[in-house]
Amino acid sequence: MKTAVVNPPFMDGKFSRTSRSPAIVKSGTMYWPFWLAYAVGTLERAGHDVVFLDCPAADITRQDLLEKLAEVSPELVVMDTSTPSIHSDLEVSKEIAAILPDCSILLVGTHVSALPEKVLQEAPHVTAVVAGEYDITVSHAANALHNGTDLREVPGLWLNTGDKPIFTGKRETVSDLDSLPMLADVYKKHLKPENYFFAAARYPSVMMITSRGCPFKCSYCVWPQVLHGGTYRARSAANVAEEFLKIQQYFPQVQEIVFEDDTFSVDSRRVEKVSDALIAAGCKLPWTANTRANLSLEAMKKMRRAGCRMIIVGYESGSQVILNGVNKGTTVEQNLSFAKRARKAGLLVHGCFMAGNPGETKETLAATLKMAIELSPDTAQFFPIMAYPGTRLYQQYRLSGNLRTEDYRQWLTADGLHNCVVDLPGLSSDDLVDWCDYARRKFYLRPGYLFYKAVQTLLHPTTEGRRTLRAFSTFKKYLFGKRS
C-alpha cells in the first residue's frame, strides 16, 4: 500500500513538533521525528511503499505538501499532531482529505491520544486516531486497509464512525524493543542530519531512543503518561551499540549522537552495560543522554570512557516542596551532589529548570535561580510550566481552575515560542514567562559564565566553540530582547 507519513508544517517556521514541549525553540532546536520514523520502519518492514515528509525540518510549506501528496496519491496518510498546533493540524488533514477523497487518514501523537473523541468530533474527515505508541498499530491498520479487513479488528484505534467514535481496544506496548526496526535505517533512507539541530549537542547530531517510558511518576511528563502507558522497557546494550555503529557508518558528517530517552539512567547498572557495549564495539562518536540526579559516579565515569560528552538533567526546582509536589522523586541535596559527581567524571551538564509547578511562589523561584547558579551547568534552560492534556498536572490545574484557557493555540506566543497558560496565586502566567526570561539573563550574562564560555570556545573552537556560536546566533535576540 502506498503510504505517506507526514510531520505537517506549522507557522511557516522551524516548529519542533517532536519535542516534549512543541514550539519554535529559542535556541533553534529541531528534533528528529523519531516516533514517526519508527512507524515508517514498521510500515516498510510490512511491505508498504512509504513517503516520509518532515515538513518543518525540510521547509516544506502547506502548499508544497499538498502538491507532493497529490503527485504521490497515497492510499493512507499517517499524520503527526501536537497540542499547540492541533487546530492547524486538523485544517491540514481536511485539505488532504479534499484532494485525496479515497485516502484513509490516521492521526497520531500525544494530543490526539489524550483527547481522541474530541478530536474526531471536530474532524469527521479523519479515519481514525491511533492511541499511544503507534508504530505497530499503524502497520497493522495499513495491512487491514490493504487486505480489506475491518479496522475494528485492529487494537489501538479510535474509529470515526460518523456518530460516536469507537475504541477498538487497548494495544499492549511493545515489550521487546530490539524487535523494532532501527531508526538509523529509516533516517538513512529518508532524512538529512543537516536539517536537525539540538543546541546541547555538536552539529550535526542524530537522535536515537534506547528505551521507552519511565518508572518515575513526575506529574508533568507527557510521553510516559500519554504515549508509553506508564511502562518502562529498554533495548539491550548490544542492540544500542549496533545502531550507534550504523549511524557512524551512514552519516560520516555527524558529530554527536543524542540518546533522547525520557530517562536513559533509570538504572545505573544498565548505563554501565550500554557504555561497555559501546566501548567493545569501537564506537567513536561523542554522545549525550538524559539522566536523573541519582546517577552513580561509577556509571558517569564509564559513560565518559565510552564517549559521553554531556548529560542532561531535570533539576526542575530549588525547592524541595515543589519537587515533592510533582512527584519528582529527587532532592535538592541530590541535585547538588549530582553536579559534583558529573564534574569529577569530566562530563558537561545541561540543566533544566521549570517555573509554575503547584505551590510555586516568588520565594521558590528565587531558590531555583540560586540553585541554578550554584550548580553552574555548562548550559541551562528555564521553562514556564507547559501542562499538556493527558498528564496528571493538566488535570490538576484544570480542576483547580489554574488554567487560563483551554484554547490550545495559546500554548504558544504569536511567534511560536513557548507560552504559559497557568495562573497561580500571586504569580500570573505572564509573571512565570517573565521570570524565565529574567533567570536566563541572570544565568548566562554572569561575568564568570561569559569568561568560562570564552575559554571553552578558544580551547575547543571546532567543537564546543562551534556549538556555542551556532546556538547563540539564534538565541541572542531572546537573551537581550524582551519577549513579544
- Tens-place pLDDT, residues 432-441: 999 999 999 9
CA distances from 255 to 53, 141, 156, 308, 462 (A): 24, 37, 38, 12, 11
Superfamily for the 2-167 domain: Cobalamin-binding domain (3.40.50.280)
Q: Which pLDDT score, from 0 to 100, does residue 483 have? A: 47
Neighbours of 462 (CB within 10 A): 9
Distance CA 290, CA 312 (A): 5
Question: Cα–Cα distance between 186 and 37 in angstroms, integer?
Answer: 6
Q: pLDDT tens for residues 473-484?
A: 655 555 655 543
Segments in 227-361 forming alpha helices (H)? 237-250, 268-281, 297-305, 320-325, 332-345
Q: Parallel, antiparallel, or unpaired for β 157-159 and 128-130?
A: antiparallel
Domain 198-480: state its class. Answer: alpha beta
In degrees rounded to 5, what are phi and psi of residue 375? -65, -35
In which residue ranges of the chain is CATH 3.80.30.20 found? 198-480
| pLDDT score, position 459 | 75
User: At CA 258, angle to CA 287 and CA 313, rounded to 5?
Assistant: 90
CATH 3.40.50.280 residue ranges for the chain: 2-167
Burial of 179 (0-12, 13-18, 19+ CB in 10 A): exposed
Question: What end-to-end distance do the CA atoms of the chain give, in Å?
Answer: 46
Give me the percent of the chain exceeding a pLDDT of 70: 96
Q: Is the peptide bond before 204 cis (omega within 30 degrees of 0)?
A: yes
CA dihedral sign, ordered 55, 224, 295, 364: positive
Q: What is the pLDDT of residue 70?
A: 98
pLDDT of residue 3: 98
Sequence-distant (≥ 6) Cβ neighbours of residue 82 within 8 angstroms: 17, 22, 89, 109, 110, 111
Residue among 370, 355, 372, 378 nearest 434 (CA): 355
Query: Element (H or E) spanning 399, and its range?
Result: helix 392-400
Euclidean distance between CA atoms 124 and 127, whole angstroms: 8
Residue among 239, 264, 266 at smallest CA distance from 180: 239
What is the rounded average pLDDT for all residues in the chain?
Answer: 94
Q: Which residues of the chain have pLDDT under 50?
A: 483-484
Alpha carbons 318 and 323: distance in angstroms, whole number: 8
| Residue 180 cell numbers, joined | 523494532
